[in-house]
């Protein structure tokens, strides 16, 4: 006492106005508010007795426990409207509802809340107080569920409760309520629940029969996959057997077994259940391990005593640390460093809990020692692959005692929370770029890559496993390829799977095979496919159509019909002009229009914008010539405009871009696809006529013929049908680039070929793997990886685009046609010249023969 007084004096003298709003334990005695609710007691005598004695009861305990300081006790009457501002601790003995409303007040003032309340009451949060429900042995089941929910150990939003008729309605009703009422400090999570009762028949056979009947007609899709089975220990085994035989214990379902009579049956060791666990199931047990020999004293006084003495201990320890701290530093430092109210609350609560646990497990235990439950969780995922046989086992995951509730050392359903729990599972693969690749690092280790390993790595992160890869030695050329001519067409091989890989799956040596495999029916007989990773579409590759000959380019602007029309109009216009000119009354003899032939030349000259040298005198003929000039202007402008366009842009044949185009060219072209293609199967089964033609005329390539085939494609005589991505790869590879970008892909994409990973037929993990793959597709991750691993852009599509814009100069080949015409013209006129000479000579010699009369 003396020492404290000294400290106290020193405190008052030194710390002036630095006095904070809550005092240190050194300067002030801790204060305890006690609230006792009358309605909590069944009879008034008990209540009066408690109220009368509680003060002396508490002070007696504290005196005994803390010799140095004291606790100021203040007892409140009634439960409403109290101000707890100056208190350190609140001790309440009230009903559940009152406790929570008191707690609101206590929390505001950051009091340590110690509460004794009735059964089926959600506990106070760990950091704010300790609440002890008074539970009679045998009635604790519902409280266990309240406690599990209040620490978020059971996050179900639907539940199917299965129980046999050895449990009375009251027990089950209270459990159901514990699962579905909303908790005061939690967001309400709606729990839908369904109850199933079955008979507890005496013989094992009848029991199984009943359970099987019930579970067989179960609608998992509607009722959800969370099962709460409240049974006796022998029935638990039956339910497990039946669930196993009906294949209902899968990774996406959860089974929680409550075994109440494990003590009575002398079987608190539940390891025998491990044999009934199936690979990939989620099973947990809650079982009663109460020592039936210890006497259970569920008395209020006992709990008050336990709580108060724990509190006294805690305060004492807190005071000791403060004194210790104080002696080492100045007042200012102490003021800064000492715990504030909230921190002290944590410290006190922590020591109270430690004390309560000690009390519970001490040999001369106080009250509440009687009830003791354990939680056990099954570890079942991936065991098979590690040990080669199912060696599921159970781990202890927590305990439950009435005083402190549930204490979990691990999660109740470890696999639901942590997937495979970081274990190392074997998977199989082989080298098959770009799907899955195996390469050696500099240090000689194998490194795995490709699209499938992007997926596997992500899957490993999500399902919490690491993997070791088994890659069988495969030496068939089919599976080890490089991009030479002979092999290039096989780049799309996902249609074959090495038998070693299939064997590994069948022997269940691996969780799954990270190998791309086309989903096909004949594979389905042995194995199962995951959700498709990728959809391959088919296209075809054609040589880009060649440029047409440019010799007759100058004729190109007009079609044949236009040219014919033009020629006809010249030939007709000549005579018409001649006739109009001739018969016009006002016509004079103009040389140059005197014959039909001359008129034709005149019209032709006008067409070439040479103008007639002579204009007719009559208005009628002039009108005709004028109109002709107009026609000429339009014709010439059109022609020269088009000619420029034809000179600038290459004049190519139409490309073959759709299946219909291809079939239209069937007489000029052949087409084919690699042997063993999935396409063949598909085309056989498809309805449309054009695809039948496609199949009938297709050539099936052998691996050995490919060099030939590539040549044929280059020459534009053959069309290759394959995956779009393969064809892109081909176009990018150097093989086909020799001729520049002379290939085009069809715009038609026909038929999807799904590519998936493979997994054992009866693997329980198909669903969860598929769910993850689905999420990868939805989130767009898969598309990102595909874009990275299988590039879409190719060199040609870029350079083709550039080519069009490129400037183009007119060269001799473009002009050769018109020079040829000139040459013809020259030749023709020379020929005519010769003819004219001949004619002239003959005329001259004829005239010589005639005797000319001499006219002087
Ligand atoms: C604490 O309580 C004791 C005993 O009742 C008393 O002697 C002492 O003065 C109190 N101390 C303070 C700081 O109130
Ligand atoms: C747990 O076991 C104890 C001791 O055998 C028993 O008194 C109590 O009723 C059991 N609990 C339940 C819920 O059956
Ligand atoms: C449990 O074991 C005790 C002794 O260890 C024995 O007396 C009792 O008969 C057993 N009870 C059952 C149901 O086996
Ligand atoms: C439970 O029983 C198995 C044998 O059935 C034994 O190996 C194991 O040690 C026992 N566990 C406990 C905690 O007694
Ligand atoms: C139960 O606990 C109270 C309070 O500690 C005590 O008075 C009573 O004697 C105890 N009863 C038995 C049977 O031990
Ligand atoms: C929970 O259990 C562990 C191990 O059994 C123990 O160390 C710890 O103190 C317990 N915690 C609580 C709050 O009961
Ligand atoms: C993976 O499992 C381990 C072991 O259970 C666990 O500690 C870890 O938190 C888990 N990781 C994830 C991401 O769930
Ligand atoms: C690989 O080839 C060797 C000989 O070339 C043969 O003996 C061996 O069986 C082949 N292995 C496989 C898995 O095909
Ligand atoms: C690639 O193919 C050629 C010809 O088929 C072969 O000679 C060569 O060994 C192959 N290269 C590799 C790495 O397989
Ligand atoms: C396709 O390949 C198989 C062997 O894989 C072979 O038997 C068949 O003759 C081939 N078909 C053609 C048309 O080359
Ligand atoms: C493909 O090769 C197989 C043998 O390897 C042969 O029988 C078949 O005729 C070839 N097919 C063609 C289209 O050449
Ligand atoms: C393959 O898995 C799907 C679901 O993922 C399942 O519906 C189907 O029955 C399985 N096939 C076989 C043959 O097991």
pLDDT in tens, 363-419: 665 565 678 899 999 999 988 777 667 788 899 999 998 888 999 999 999 999 999
How many whole angstroms separate alpha carbon 280 and alpha carbon 383? 9
Instruction: Report which of residues 695 and 799 the model is more confident about.
Output: 695
**Mean pLDDT for the stretch of residues 76-90:** 80
β-bridge pairing 743-745 and 534-543: antiparallel
3-state SS assignment for residue 344: helix
Q: Give 117's pLDDT tier (boundaries 50, 70, 90).
A: very high
Instruction: Report which of residues 136 and 466 the model is more confident about.
Output: 466
What tokens were used for 702? 């052998």
Under 8 Å CB-to-CB from 595, ≥6 apart: which residues? 578
Phi-psi region for residue 527, left (φ > 0), alpha (ψ -120 to 50) or beta? beta
Greatest mean pLDDT range, 223-237, 330-344, 663-677, 736-750: 223-237
With 90 as the cut, is the pLDDT of residue 654 above it? no
**Phi, psi (rounded to 5 degrees) for 508:** 60, 40
With 90 as the cut, is the pLDDT of residue 214 above it? no
What tokens were used for 620? 């009628």
With 70 as the cut, is the pLDDT of residue 843 above it? yes
Asked if residue 183 lies in contact with residue 152, where contact means CB atoms within 8 angstroms, the answer is no
With 70 as the cut, is the pLDDT of residue 727 above it? yes
Tell me what pLDDT residue 598 has.
83
Greatest mean pLDDT range, 111-125, 353-367, 590-604, 642-656: 111-125
Closest CA to 489 of 676, 244, 210: 676
Residue 518 labeled ligand binder: yes
* CB atoms closer than 10 angstroms to residue 824: 10
Which protein residues touch ligand 2 with a CB less than 6 Å away?
137-138, 140-141, 260, 263-264, 288, 290, 292
**Phi, psi (rounded to 5 degrees) for 747:** -85, -25
Task: Output the DSSP codes for 219-288.
Answer: -HHHH-SEEEEEE-HHHHHHHHHHHHHTT---TT-EEEEEES-TTTTT----GGGGGG--TT--EEEEEE
Q: How far is the CA of 470 from the centre of ligand 8 (A)?
A: 18
| Residue bearing the CA closest to ligand 11, atom 11 | 702
With 70 as the cut, is the pLDDT of residue 165 above it? yes
First to last CA, the chain: 180
3-state SS assignment for residue 818: helix
Asked if residue 306 lies in contact with residue 277, where contact means CB atoms within 8 angstroms, the answer is no
Distance of CA 289 to the CA centre of its chain: 44
β-bridge pairing 283-288 and 373-379: antiparallel
pTM over 0.75: yes
- Among 138-142, 348-352, 495-499, where is mean pLDDT lowest? 495-499
3-state SS assignment for residue 517: strand
Q: Give 793's pLDDT tier (boundaries 50, 70, 90).
A: low
Beta-bridge partner residues of 141: none
What tokens were used for 632? 């000429």
Burial of 122 (0-12, 13-18, 19+ CB in 10 A): buried
Q: For residue range 573-607, list pLDDT tens digits in order.
A: 888 888 888 887 776 666 667 788 888 888 888 88
3-state SS assignment for residue 65: helix
Positive or negative torsion for Cα 764, 767, 770, 772: negative
Any atom of ligand 12 within 6 Å of the Cβ of 770: yes
To test the pocket of ligand 2, the residue of 371, 374, 401 to mutate (highest count of ligand atoms within 8 Å of its CB) is 371
| Residue bearing the CA closest to ligand 11, atom 14 | 702
Tell me what pLDDT residue 757 has.
92
What tokens were used for 652? 């190519």
Asked if residue 397 lies in contact with residue 144, where contact means CB atoms within 8 angstroms, the answer is no
Q: How far is the CA of 270 from the centre of ligand 4 (A)?
A: 8
Any atom of ligand 12 within 6 Å of the Cβ of 526: no
Asked if residue 322 lies in contact with residue 340, where contact means CB atoms within 8 angstroms, the answer is no
With 70 as the cut, is the pLDDT of residue 44 above it? yes
How many whole angstroms separate alpha carbon 147 and alpha carbon 398? 12
Q: How far is the CA of 172 from the centre of ligand 3 (A)?
A: 28
Asked if residue 121 lies in contact with residue 150, where contact means CB atoms within 8 angstroms, the answer is no
Asked if residue 772 lies in contact with residue 459, where contact means CB atoms within 8 angstroms, the answer is yes
Any atom of ligand 7 within 6 Å of the Cβ of 587: no
Which protein residues touch ligand 6 with a CB less than 6 Å away?
353, 357, 404, 407, 409
What tokens were used for 658? 């759709």
Q: What is the percent of the chain with per-residue pLDDT over 90, rounded to a whole number?
A: 19
| Residue bearing the CA closest to ligand 4, atom 11 | 269
How many whole angstroms separate alpha carbon 384 and alpha carbon 420? 12
Any atom of ligand 12 within 6 Å of the Cβ of 774: no
Closest CA to 519 of 539, 536, 500: 536
**Mean pLDDT for the stretch of residues 68-79:** 77
Q: How far is the CA of 290 from the centre of ligand 2 (A)?
A: 7
Beta-bridge partner residues of 230: 163, 258
Instruction: Report which of residues 36 and 737 the model is more confident about.
Output: 36
> Domains in the chain and their CATH numbers?
1-134+299-362 (3.40.50.2300), 137-296+368-421 (3.40.50.2300), 424-537 (3.40.190.10), 557-648 (1.10.287.70)
Q: What is the percent of the chain with per-residue pLDDT over 70, rounded to a whole number?
A: 85
């Amino acid at each position: 006492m003396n020492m404290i007084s000294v400290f106290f004096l020193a405190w008052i003298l030194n710390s002036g106005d630095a006095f904070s709003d809550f005092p240190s334990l050194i300067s002030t005695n801790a204060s305890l508010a006690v609230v006792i609710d009358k309605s909590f007691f069944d009879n008034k005598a008990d209540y009066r007795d408690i109220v009368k004695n509680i003060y002396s009861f508490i002070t007696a305990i504290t005196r005994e426990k803390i010799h140095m300081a004291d606790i100021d006790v203040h007892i409140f009457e009634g439960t409403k409207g109290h101000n707890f501002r100056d208190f350190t601790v609140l001790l309440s003995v009230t009903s559940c509802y009152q406790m929570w409303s008191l707690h609101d007040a206590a929390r505001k003032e950051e009091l340590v809340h110690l509460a004794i309340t009735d059964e089926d009451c959600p506990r106070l949060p760990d950091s704010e107080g300790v609440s002890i429900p008074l539970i009679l042995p045998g009635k604790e089941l519902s409280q266990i569920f309240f406690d599990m929910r209040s620490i978020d150990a059971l996050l179900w939003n639907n539940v199917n409760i299965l129980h046999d008729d050895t449990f009375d309605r009251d027990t089950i009703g209270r459990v159901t309520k514990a699962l579905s009422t909303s908790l005061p400090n939690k967001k309400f999570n709606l729990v839908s629940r369904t109850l199933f009762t079955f008979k507890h028949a005496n013989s094992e056979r009848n029991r199984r029969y009943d359970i099987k009947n019930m579970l067989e007609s179960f609608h998992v899709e509607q009722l959800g996959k969370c099962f709460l089975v409240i049974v006796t220990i022998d029935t638990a085994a039956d339910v497990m057997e039946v669930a196993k035989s009906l294949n209902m214990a899968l990774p996406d379902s959860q089974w929680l077994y409550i075994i109440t009579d494990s003590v009575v049956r002398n079987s608190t060791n539940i390891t025998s259940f491990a044999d009934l666990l199936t690979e990939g199931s989620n099973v947990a047990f809650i079982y009663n391990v109460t020592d039936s020999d210890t006497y259970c004293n569920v008395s209020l006084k006992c709990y008050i005593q336990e709580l108060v003495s724990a509190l006294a201990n805690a305060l004492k320890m807190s005071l000791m640390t403060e004194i210790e701290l104080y002696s080492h530093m100045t007042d200012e430092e102490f003021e800064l460093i000492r715990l504030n109210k909230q921190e002290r609350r944590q410290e006190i609560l922590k020591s109270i809990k430690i004390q309560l646990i000690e009390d519970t497990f001490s040999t001369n235990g106080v009250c509440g020692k009687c009830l003791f439950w354990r939680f056990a969780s099954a570890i079942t995922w991936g065991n098979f692959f590690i040990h080669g046989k199912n060696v599921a086992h159970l781990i202890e995951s927590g305990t439950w005692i009435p005083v402190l509730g549930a204490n979990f050392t691990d999660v109740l359903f470890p696999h639901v929370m942590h997937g495979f729990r970081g274990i190392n599972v074997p998977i199989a693969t082989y080298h098959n770029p770009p799907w899955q690749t195996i390469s050696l690092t500099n240090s000689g280790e194998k490194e795995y890559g490709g699209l499938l390993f992007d997926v596997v790595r992500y899957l490993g992160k999500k399902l919490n496993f690491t993997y070791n890869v088994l890659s069988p030695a495969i030496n068939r050329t089919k599976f080890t390829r490089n991009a030479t001519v002979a092999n290039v067409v096989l780049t799309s091989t996902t249609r074959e799977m090495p038998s070693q890989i299939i064997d590994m799956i069948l022997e269940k040596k691996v969780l799954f095979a990270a190998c791309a495999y086309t989903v096909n029916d004949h594979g389905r007989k042995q194995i199962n496919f995951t959700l498709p990773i990728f959809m391959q579409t088919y296209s075809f590759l054609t040589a880009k159509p060649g440029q047409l000959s440019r010799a007759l380019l100058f004729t190109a602007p007009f079609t044949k019909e236009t040219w014919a029309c033009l020629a006809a109009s010249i030939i007709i216009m000549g005579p018409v002009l001649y006739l109009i000119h001739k018969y016009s009354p006002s016509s004079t003899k103009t040389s140059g229009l005197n014959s039909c032939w001359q008129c034709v030349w005149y019209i032709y000259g006008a067409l070439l914008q040479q103008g007639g040298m002579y204009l007719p005198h009559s208005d009628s003929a002039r009108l005709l010539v004028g109109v002709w000039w107009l026609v000429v202007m339009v014709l010439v402008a059109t022609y020269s405009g088009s000619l420029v366009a034809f000179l600038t842009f290459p004049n190519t044949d139409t490309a073959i871009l759709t299946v219909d185009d291809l079939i239209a060219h069937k007489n000029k072209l052949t087409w084919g696809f690699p042997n063993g293609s999935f396409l063949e199967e598909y085309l056989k089964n498809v309805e449309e006529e054009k695809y039948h033609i496609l199949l009938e005329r297709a050539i099936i390539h052998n691996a050995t013929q490919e060099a030939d085939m590539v040549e044929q494609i280059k020459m534009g005589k053959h069309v290759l049908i394959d995956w779009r991505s393969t064809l892109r790869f081909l176009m990018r590879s150097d093989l086909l680039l020799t001729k520049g970008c002379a290939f085009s892909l069809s715009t038609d994409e026909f038929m999807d070929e799904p590519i998936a990973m493979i997994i054992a037929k009866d693997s329980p993990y198909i669903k969860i793997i598929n769910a993850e793959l689905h999420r990868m597709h939805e989130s767009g991750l898969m598309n990102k990886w595909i874009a990275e691993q299988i590039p879409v852009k190719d060199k040609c599509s870029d350079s083709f685009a550039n080519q069009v814009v490129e400037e183009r100069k007119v060269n001799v080949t473009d002009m050769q046609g018109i020079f040829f015409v000139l040459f013809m013209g020259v030749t023709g006129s020379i020929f005519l010249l010769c003819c004219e000479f001949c004619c002239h000579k003959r005329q001259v010699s004829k005239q010589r023969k005639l005797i000319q009369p001499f006219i002087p």
